[in-house]
Amino acid sequence: MSAVACLILAAGKGTRMKSDRPKVMHEIAGRSMLGHVVAAAQALAPERIAVVVGPGMEAVAKSVAPVPTVVQPEQKGTGDAVRAALPAIEGFGGDVIVLFGDTPLLTTATLERLVAARRAAGDPAVVVLGMRPADPLQYGRLVLTGDGGLDRIVEYSEASDFERQIGLCNAGIMTFDGRRLPELIAALQANNAKGEFFLTDTVEAARARGWACSVVEGDPDEVLGINSRVELADAEAILQDRLRRRAMLDGATLIDPKTVWLSVDTKLGRDVVVGPSTFFGPGVTVEDGVEILGFSHIEGATIRTGARIGPFARLRPVTVVGEGAHIGNFVELKAADLAAGAKANHLTYLGDVSVGAKTNIGAGTIISNYDGYNKFRTSIGAEVFVGSDSVLVAPVTVGDRSNIAAGSVITRDVAPDALAIGRARQEDKPGWAPGYREKKKAEKAERERKAGREREKG
């Protein structure tokens, strides 16, 4: 969509979050609130985009880079924030959308509707996003003209009893004719109890100049602003429902959808089956026909076609599970690359390792990849059998088709087709056990006699 600019207001401190982090940096579905808003805006391919931050909010600026930021020196209201951002759109004559960094559920489709309304017949100077919440609480009310245009925005505290009965409320998001926006901002005055410049007053300024204003109605859930951790959880629940529904409509089966947690960038292929209580962190791609059993935790991983994961598996970032591979219960992978058909079915840690095709990793195997200072990588070839309870001390290379005896500690490279045994030699003592049992019985009897004598003395 051409000739669009987006200004995202993110300078609020969010004191009700009771957090050392800026409010807009709190996450839902694996992405910051501000990140969601930026993504929705960028989907419009805007010619200009800028995020308004407050002093000392370098972390926020860094999180949106390379999107430019401008600093609002003092918190003097939404109108003042847009005034601070005007240099970022100087000379721009298209449509300017003003968004808020704490409305992460807003969709690009709604922004497109706002722009379409701004370009509609009547040439409105301002288009406001409205909503009809079930409980309007203390939202500002949108008062319409007789022909359905927007006459004014009335704050709840200043509304008459009649105006408070209006169900159409201000959602905050606004779109402006960029040619007229500077004049509207210049007309704002801080003649209110807070001493702030309210962006909503641009409607009154536009009407005073004979310019039309209009309203686009949106879903109240979409414009849910987040000011507390309770509201953050509410927004998470709404977004999770959206993501689950999209995944199922795209061909994945979620056996118990309410217990599956997705990130906004989770990709699930066709005929993927996801068991209960499974969590997907950011950066996960699951190809077609994969089965993920319950209570698995996956982030930053790619799972190839036909693989089987879990239950109770943990896949950490930079992990690739190959086609048809099996990762079983209580297996953890980190920076691991498993080729097609490889298996690690039980109680295993594979970190910083490459595993070849059709290799079997026995229960209790550990890659000892860290010496307390540095991480080292291990390479295990194809069709290798690693016996249970083995430790591979990185860096080592295990050749194709070799065999690691159970209980071994491997500290040197293993040649292809070799058998490696790294454990103490077993020693048997025939007939030893009966004598040992008799000795222990005698010791127990003596302890009991001694205890009896002590009781008699007492």
Catalytic residues: 346
DSSP-derived pairing of the beta strands 360-361 and 343-355: parallel
Helices and strands in the chain: count of H runs, count of E runs: 9, 33
What letter represents residue 278's amino acid? T
Please say whether the beta carbons of 201 and 79 come within 8 A: yes
Residue with tokens 């068991």: 275
Could you give phi then psi for residue 33, rounded to 5 degrees?
-55, -50
Instruction: Look up residue 45 and give its two tokens.
Output: 């391919």
Beta partners for 32? 27
Cβ count within 10 A of residue 331: 26
Give the three-class secondary structure for 187: coil
DSSP tag of 155: -
Instruction: Look up residue 434 and give its two tokens.
Output: 């009966």
| Radius of gyration, CA atoms only, the chain | 32
Could you give phi then psi for residue 450, rounded to 5 degrees?
-65, -40
Bond preceding residue 395 cis, omega within 30 of 0: yes
Instruction: Look up residue 59 and give its two tokens.
Output: 């972390």
Instruction: Report how far residue 266's alpha carbon sits from residue 257's, in angstroms, rounded to the nearest whole number.
Output: 15
Instruction: Report how far residue 258's alpha carbon sits from residue 263's, in angstroms, rounded to the nearest whole number.
Output: 14
Beta partners for 393? 368
